[in-house]
Amino acid sequence: MRTENAPVVRLEDYRPTDYLIDTVKLDVRLHPTATRVTAELALRPNPKGTPGAALTLDGDELRLVSARLDGVALGAAAYAVTPSSLVLHAPPQRPFTLTLETELDPSANTKLMGLYRSSGIYCTQCEAEGFRRITYFLDRPDVLSVYTTRIEADREEAPLLLGNGNPVERGEVPGTGRHYALWHDPFPKPCYLFALVGGRLDKVSQTYVTGSGRAVEIAIHVEAGKGERATYALDALARSMRWDEKVFGREYDLDVFNVVAVSDFNMGAMENKGLNIFNDKYVLASAEKATDADYANIEAIIAHEYFHNWTGNRITCRDWFQLCLKEGLTVFRDQEFSSDERSRPVKRIADVRTLRAQQFAEDAGPLAHPVRPAQYREINNFYTATVYEKGAEVIRMLKTLIGAEAFRRGMDLYFERCDGTAATVEDFIACFAEASGRDLSQFFTWYEQAGTPTVTASSHYDPAARTYRLDLAQRTPPTPGQAEKRPVVIPVALGLVGESGRELPLKAGNEVPLANGVLTLDGPALSVTFTDVPERPVPSLLRGFSAPVRLEMDLADEDLFVLFRHDRDPFNQWQAAQTVATRVILEATRAARAGQAISVDARLGEALAHFLDSRAEADHAFAAQVLALPTEADMAREIGGDVDPDAVFTGRLAVKRALGAALADRLAALYGRLASRGAYSPDAASAGRRALRHAALDLLAAGDAARGTELAVAQFAAADNMTDRFGALAVLAHLPGAARETALADFAGRFHDDPLVLDKWFALQATIPEAGTLDRVRELTRHPAFSMGNPNRVRSLVGSFAMGNATQFNRADGAGYDFLADVVIALDPKNPQVAARLLTAFRTWRMLEPGRRAKAEAALKRVAGTPGLSPDVSDISGRSLA
Ligand code: TRP
Ligand code: ZN
């Protein structure tokens, strides 16, 4: 067992290993409780290491059965072994072979790291440090080896045996009822990309022919009877492969590509070489059981894991500090893929919503860290929104700054130069500096400095001189361990919009470089004067959200309405409407907290009415984004401190009700016009139509509960697909009464045998903003379909309560915090990774009003003071309280 006092690992302490492992031959004899692993490691001293050094291999809860050096059993004096390490005191200073035999119990592996069983399927999860739970190894990403894996199992129990790379051979083990498969992966890889699977699975497959004409067998394997539900994922995979050829010039490199879906998985999915393993939530889809959002997630995650084959696998990370090298870049690539497959502006709006909700929140609290952290205690806790989402934003800015062509040249250079290596962020950025001829040293600050910069803007128009001066300034608030901040390089994409809506010419007068409508703010402040400006402009700044910053500018509401109506940039149209809505909700929240009557500025409703009359049906998905008000969490972030979640809820609901009432007739007509016609199809246009129809119903129901209930009940009953059915149920969830309870019961009965669908049911009930919800959630933890052992169930019920129900998690009596603390403490010994993730629900606790803040702190302290905590939970609780 690892202990809670995990040492700090620092980037500056990096040094290469003293030994290298060139090849690994694994023989894995699968057994439910006693799996035998024989690892034959071909080692040699690393020319970059210390000659004569001892060899220390990592282990985690391992049991060694035997150890041999060049075929000869190791004498007791030659080595020291514990469950967490194996030290060879004086290794030969020449190539040698170490053969290690370990025994594992996959059925007892509740951490879901290393080799485990999920619904009778053997599978592995090795990133970040799970391989050391299979055999003793140099478990770090800069040790690259060629793997050959023999997997043996009972033929009945596991007719399918999959490994990394290409299949070489398979056969029987005579007289035993067992069989084996031999796999060889010719590409050297770090051990975190190792995987194997054994089990009884259904398959859907097709032949994919690469751009250069090589035939690849691509297959998705799912639990028996679920093959039909994997066809969408298979299609998404083929589309991803084609897109990577077309947009990044990257072809697949093995004869087979396998994806396996399992039901117990700590995260979304894993990019193991040639054998991706997925949380089945991100593979299985059918019209009856998956929503449009599920389809979009499946497409994005299938693409993400596939894209890792080049950005992550062919080029991997030198050490875990470089995690964003593969994750930020691969998120950027999957975002681009989804943008090309669907609607680019709508995808951008959705991604920015996620960025602000997750990454800005992280950046504003005690868990803030740079895109490339400089230290960690537990690497599992750094698979964060900052590394992934902000990491992708940094790549996007790089592309904006150097232009699409130089960006592509830089990528090509990176693939050429770093292929087959374990690289650093410096190696990556050097390719773009070279390709663009730019000095990117200041840009690098984005990787090293935590915190969300604030850009403030003010301006002055001189009608006589026809000049317009724009003053920009930046500052980044302090974050843990970084009191002083440097200016970062901020690309500000902008335009000037005339009051009548026309785009005004953009001529920068004072030698400030302006390239393709992008200003670069790289100092503390920048002043630019535009010349020949024919009328007073409304500035449209940060178009397309060109940098991950907060923008502060005191535009008049009327100017925001101009942008909402006329900006040629759809992102800023949406942003303008959001900004007005934010102001209106802020005022309502203030009134609610002061115990005053809430009055809602009618102009927002009028602007939305005009939008509904003139533009909503030109792009349904975009219109749905416009109608979706800022969330309670968005508002809390905006308020920034002394937050009373009840007041936010009351203020926001009052605004939503007023809009619903003001727009009732329009919304009802829209709802009617957008009704489904024909069979369900998950394509983007159809999904957009359903999204807008749902947004209309949601607002309408806020304004008129009786009418909303009637429509939602009818939609629920008539639905022939999950998007419509669950959409109706989600609206009902916010309308207390018998209709809601009847629909919830009907839903549970209908899908009682499908855990992934019941997850939606758990999640929805956990987010009901009513005083009875905590009791309901407690009750649901005893539901037969609920299990603390399954991460999807825990995230659906407990995670949704803690991260998606602002008023009830933040109950004034602290009972929500106590409940979460209890769950974290109970789950930690079984699955520390999931427990630690749940605990991050406290990441913004200091922003609460003093009463709740004290209660949250007490709950966190109770967790922190629990004896025997995992390093995962100990790290999060410790940093949260620091
Ligand atoms: N590398 C995975 C990705 O595509 C993340 C991941 C999957 C992971 N499973 C994990 C990380 C388990 C840590 C632990 O983003
Ligand atoms: Zn990834």
How many angstroms separate the alpha carbon of residue 200 from the centre of ligand 1? 24
Tokens linked to 174: 């005579």
Which protein residue's CA is at the shortest distance from atom 5 of ligand 1?
270
Distance CA 548, CA 494 (A): 15
3-state secondary structure of 66: strand
Ligand 2: distance of its center to the CA of 305 in Å? 6
pLDDT at residue 779 tops 90: yes
Which of 112, 125, 382 is the pocket-test mutation for ligand 1 (most atoms within 8 Å of CB)? Answer: 125
Nearest C-alpha to atom 4 of ligand 1 is from which residue? 270
- Asked if residue 186 lies in contact with residue 217, where contact means CB atoms within 8 angstroms, the answer is no
Atom of ligand 1 nearest to the CA of 380: 13
Quick: pLDDT tens for 157-212.
999 999 999 999 999 999 999 999 999 999 999 999 999 999 999 999 999 999 99
Which is the closest atom of ligand 1 to the Cα of 833?
14
pLDDT higher than threshold 80 for residue 301: yes
Specify the 3-state DSSP secondary structure of 485.
coil
Give the model's confidence band at 2: pLDDT under 50 very low, under 70 low, under 90 confident, else very high: very low
Reply yes or no on whether 305 is catalytic.
yes
First to last CA, the chain: 26
Q: Could you give the domains of the chain?
A: 9-290 (2.60.40.1730), 316-448 (1.10.390.10), 553-703 (1.25.50.10), 751-882 (1.25.50.10)
Could you report the per-residue pLDDT of 589-602, keeping only the tens digit for each? 999 999 999 999 99
Asked if the model's pLDDT at residue 270 lies above 60, the reply is yes
**Catalytic-labelled residue, pool 127, 129, 223, 305:** 305
State the Cα angle at 290 between 289 and 291, rounded to 5°. 130
- How many whole angstroms separate alpha carbon 456 and alpha carbon 474? 6
d(CA 470, CA 39) in angstroms, rounded, equals 65
What is the mean pLDDT of the segment spanning 115-134? 98
Residue 789, both tokens: 């052992």
Beta bridge partners of 116: 123
> What's the whole-number mean pLDDT along residues 813-839?
98
Q: From atom 2 of ligand 1, which residue's Cα is the shortest distance away?
A: 270
Q: Using the structure block, give the residue that is written with the tokens 């022919």.
A: 209
- Ligand 1: which atom is nearest the Cα of residue 265? 9
Ligand nearest to the CA of 270: 1
- Which atom of ligand 1 is least distant from the CA of 312? 1
pLDDT digits (tens, 9 = 90+) for 197-248: 999 999 999 999 999 999 999 999 999 999 999 999 999 999 999 999 999 9
Residue 196 in tokens: 């194997």
Could you identify the atom of ligand 1 that is nearest to the CA of residue 327? 15
The residue whose CB lies within 8 Å of the most ligand 1 atoms, and thus the one to mutate among 194, 313, 383, is 383
Helix, coil or strand: residue 488:
coil
**In angstroms, what is the span from residue 181 Cα to ligand 1's centroid?**
26
Give distance in angstroms: CA of 137 to centre of ligand 1.
20
Model confidence pLDDT, tens digit, residues 407-466: 999 999 999 999 999 999 999 999 999 999 999 999 999 999 999 999 999 999 999 999
How far is 282 from 290, CA to CA, in rounded Å? 10
Closest atom of ligand 1 relative to the 269 alpha carbon: 7
Could you tell me the CA-to-CA distances from 54 to 26, 59, 559, 685 in Å, in that order?
23, 16, 69, 61
Per the listing, tokens 């942003």 go with 575
Ligand 2 centroid from CA 373, angstroms: 17
Give the amino acid at 666: R
Checking if the pLDDT of 718 tops 70, the result is yes
Distance CA 697, CA 692 (A): 9
Q: Is 426 helix (H, G, I), strand (E, B) or coil?
A: helix
Contact partners, residue 558, CB within 8 Å, separation at least 6? none
CA 1 to CA 61: how far, in whole Å? Answer: 6
- The region that residue 678 occupies, defined by phi over 0 for left and psi between -120 and 50 for alpha, beta otherwise, is left
Tokens encoding 506: 């953009």
Q: 655 near 600, Cβ under 8 Å? A: yes
Alpha-helical (H) ranges within 770-865 are: 773-780, 791-794, 800-804, 806-809, 815-827, 832-839, 850-864
The binding-site residues of ligand 1, defined as CB within 6 angstroms of any ligand atom, are 125, 127-128, 266-267, 269-271, 304-305, 327, 380, 383
Q: Which of 582, 122, 619 is nearest to 346 (CA)?
A: 619
Q: Is the pLDDT of residue 493 over 70?
A: yes
Whether residue 9 is predicted with pLDDT greater than 90 in this model: the reply is: yes
Place of tokens 């991803």: 240
Q: If you measure from the C-alpha of residue 399 to the centroid of ligand 1, how many angstroms do you get, rounded to a whole number? A: 26
Residue 676 pLDDT grade (very low, low, confident, very high; cuts 50, 70, 90) = confident
**Is the torsion defined by CA of 780, 786, 792, 794 positive or negative?**
positive
Q: Which ligand is nearest to the CA of 131?
A: 1
> Could you tell me what percent of the chain has a pLDDT over 70?
100
Cα–Cα distance, 420 to 404 (Å, whole number): 25
Q: Whose CA is nearest to atom 11 of ligand 1?
A: 127
Ligand nearest to C-alpha 329? 2
**Cβ within 8 Å of residue 49, ≥6 positions away:** 16, 17, 18, 19
pLDDT for 510: 77
pLDDT value at 5 more than 80: no
CA distance 699 to 671: 11
pLDDT of residue 585: 98
Closest C-alpha to ligand 1, atom 6:
270
Mean pLDDT of the chain: 98
> 246: which residues sit within 8 A by CB, 6+ positions away?
none
- Please check the confidence at residue 4 and state whether its pLDDT lies above 70: no
Q: Tell me, what's the pLDDT at 513?
A: 83
Q: Residue 126: which residues within 8 A CB-CB, separation 6 or more?
A: 113, 114, 134, 191, 192, 193, 194, 195, 272
Cα of 478 vs centre of ligand 1, distance in Å, is 29
Ligand nearest to the CA of 311: 2
Stretch 834-845: mean pLDDT: 98
Q: Which ligand is nearest to the CA of 112?
A: 1
Q: Please answer whether residues 3 and 29 qualify as being in contact, where contact means their C-beta atoms are separated by less than 8 angstroms.
A: no
Question: How much is the pLDDT for 1?
Answer: 43
Residue of 127, 388, 872 with the most ligand 1 atoms within 8 Å of its CB, for mutation: 127
Give the helix/strand (H/E) hosting 869.
none
Structure tokens at 386: 């900052």
Could you tell me if residue 347 is left (phi over 0), alpha (psi between -120 and 50 degrees) or otherwise beta?
alpha
Q: How far, in Å, CA of 278 to CA of 193, rounded?
A: 14
pLDDT at 509: 83
Pocket test for ligand 1, best of 266, 323, 331 (most atoms within 8 A of CB): 266
Cα 869 from Cα 332, distance rounded (Å): 35
Dist. CA 327 → ligand 2 center (Å): 5
Q: Of all protein residues, whose CA lies closest to atom 1 belonging to ligand 1?
A: 270
- Separation of 269 CA from ligand 1 center, angstroms? 6
Instruction: List pLDDT tens digits, range 503-562.
Output: 999 998 878 889 899 999 999 999 999 999 999 999 999 999 999 999 999 999 999 999
Residue among 112, 270, 388 whose CB has most ligand 1 atoms within 8 A, to mutate: 270
Report which protein residue has its CA nearest ligand 1's atom 7. Answer: 270
